[in-house]
Amino acid sequence: MTVTTGTRVVISGGDVFDGTGAPPGPADVAIDGGRIVEVGSGLDGDELVDARGLTILPGLIDCHVHVMFDGIDLMAHLQQPFSYAFYTAIRSLARTLDCGITTVRDAGGADLGVKQAVANGLIEGPRMRTAISILGQTGGHTDGWQPSGVDASLFVPHPGRPSPIVDGPDEMRRKVRELVRAGADVIKICTSGGVISPRDDPRHAHFGPDELATCVAEATTAGIAVMAHAQGADGIKNAVRAGVRSVEHGIFLDDEGIEMMLDAGTYLVPTLAAPRAVIAAAAAGAALPDVVVDKAREVAEAHMESFGRAVAAGVPVAMGTDSGVGRHGDNLTELALMHEAGMKPEAVLAASTSSAASLLGIADEVGTVAAGKRADLVLVSGDPFDFGSLKTNIRAVYQDGRPVR
C-alpha cells in the first residue's frame, strides 16, 4: 500500500461497496477532516492510498455485543474480580475493531464510562451505543438467582449500572428513567426467557402488556428506542405490539410474527452465532449448567430456519452477533451464518452497514460510502463476499479518516 503525506486523502484504484446493497464498482474515495468529501473517478489529493486490488467497504456495525465479558463460563465469571470486566472490555473493543467493526451497540453491561473512554480516546475501539442494564422480570433472563441462594448475575449493579430486575408498570417507569439518567442510548428489555439463563424457558413470554407499554412510552418520551431480547413467538409478538424498534434473536419467530414485524417496520437482529458459541464453549470445557447447553442445542436449527423465513419475507435485518457470549474478534462468523441461512451476499453486507446504521438512528453519519459521512472504511483484499475469509482479508481500517488498523 503506497502512501504520500498531505491533508486531503484519496483512496484510489479500488472498488467500492457503498453499503446500499449495489454491487461493488471502481471508484476513488476522498477524505478530509474525518469525513468523506467525494466519491468518484480520478480524484486528486494531498495523500494517496493505493487501493488497487482492494474493495472499500463502509465501516461495519455490530448491533448486539457485550464488551464487559468475553465467552460464557459460569465458574470463571463467579471467580472474576468485579473490576476485571472493565479491563476485559479494553481487549474486547480492540478485537472488535480488528474485524473492521467501527460502531457497536452494547446490549447490556457497558456503562457510560466505557463509552466515554472510547469517545475521548483513552482506549481504542468502535464508537458505542449502550443499553447499560438489561431489564427483566423476577425469574426472567436477567435474574441470576440460583437454588443454592447464589446470585450468578453476569452484571452486578453499581452506581453507573442500575439493577435490571423490574416488576410492574411503576417499577418499569422508574427503571427506564434511571437508565436514561445513567446515559443509556437504548432501553433493552427481555420479553421472553433465554438460553444462557438456566431458570427460564426461551419459549415463554415475559412482562405483561402494561409493563411493556410503560417501557416503550418512557423511552419514547426520552427520545430513545427499545430493543427486545425476544426468542419465543409470543414474546416476539408482544414486543412488536408494544412498539419496540428491534427484536433481538427471534429464534422461534413464526409467520404471524413475521407479518407483524413487516407491518410495524420492526428490525430483526438475529445473533445466529450465539447458540453455536454456547455449544462450542461447553465442548471446550466451560463450566455451564447442562440445561443451558441443552437449550443451545435445541434452538440452533430453529434459529437458522426462522431467520431464513424472515429474510425471504423481507423483514429488515441488522447484523448483530451477541459477542461476549462468543469471543470478541469472532464477530464476522455471523455474516457467514446469515449467508448460509439464505441471505444474499450483498444483503448481508448491507445488513452490516446501512441497515444497521438505520436501526441505530445514525444513518446520516455512517453506514454508507457517501459524501458527508464519517470516513469509517474497511479495505479488504480478495472477494468481499467470501465471509469465511473476510477477517483475514482486511488490509486497513479507518475510523473518522484515521487509519486504526
228 with 288, same domain?
yes
Q: Show the domain range for 183.
A: 60-360
223 with 101, same domain?
yes
308 with 395, same domain?
no
- CATH number, position 146: 3.20.20.140
Q: Is residue 376 part of a domain?
A: yes
| CB of 103 closer than 8 Å to CB of 358 | no
238 with 376, same domain?
no
293 with 329, same domain?
yes
264 with 381, same domain?
no
- The three cell numbers of residue 203 are 419459549
DSSP H or E segment with residue 353: none
Give the pLDDT score at 73. 86
Give the pLDDT score at 345. 97
Q: Is residue 4 part of a domain?
A: no
176 with 98, same domain?
yes
Q: Is residue 234 part of a domain?
A: yes
* 227/218 Cα distance (integer angstroms): 13
Give the pLDDT score at 2. 47
225 with 238, same domain?
yes
324 with 206, same domain?
yes
181 with 326, same domain?
yes
Give the pLDDT score at 1. 46
Q: Is residue 324 part of a domain?
A: yes
- CATH number, position 21: 2.30.40.10
Interacting residues of 376 by C-beta distance below 8 A, sequence separation 6+: 58, 59, 102, 103, 366, 398, 399, 400
Give the pLDDT score at 6. 57
* 280/379 Cα distance (integer angstroms): 30
Q: Is residue 136 part of a domain?
A: yes
* Per-residue tens of pLDDT for the chain, all 405 residues: 444 445 899 999 999 999 999 999 999 999 999 999 999 999 999 999 999 999 999 999 999 999 999 998 888 888 899 999 999 999 999 999 999 999 999 999 999 999 999 999 999 999 999 999 999 999 999 998 888 888 888 899 999 999 999 999 999 999 999 999 999 999 999 999 999 888 889 999 999 999 999 999 999 999 999 999 999 999 999 999 999 999 999 999 999 999 999 999 999 999 999 999 999 999 999 988 899 999 999 999 999 999 999 999 999 999 999 999 999 999 999 999 999 999 999 999 999 999 999 999 999 999 999 999 999 999 999 999 999 999 999 999 999 999 999
Q: Is residue 2 part of a domain?
A: no
Please give the tally of structural domains in the chain: 2
296 with 165, same domain?
yes
Q: Transcribe 250-273 into DSSP letters.
A: -TT--HHHHHHHHHHT-EEE--TH
Q: Is residue 353 part of a domain?
A: yes
* 261/244 Cα distance (integer angstroms): 10
* 72/138 Cα distance (integer angstroms): 22
| CB of 75 closer than 8 Å to CB of 145 | no
Q: Is residue 3 part of a domain?
A: no
94 with 31, same domain?
no
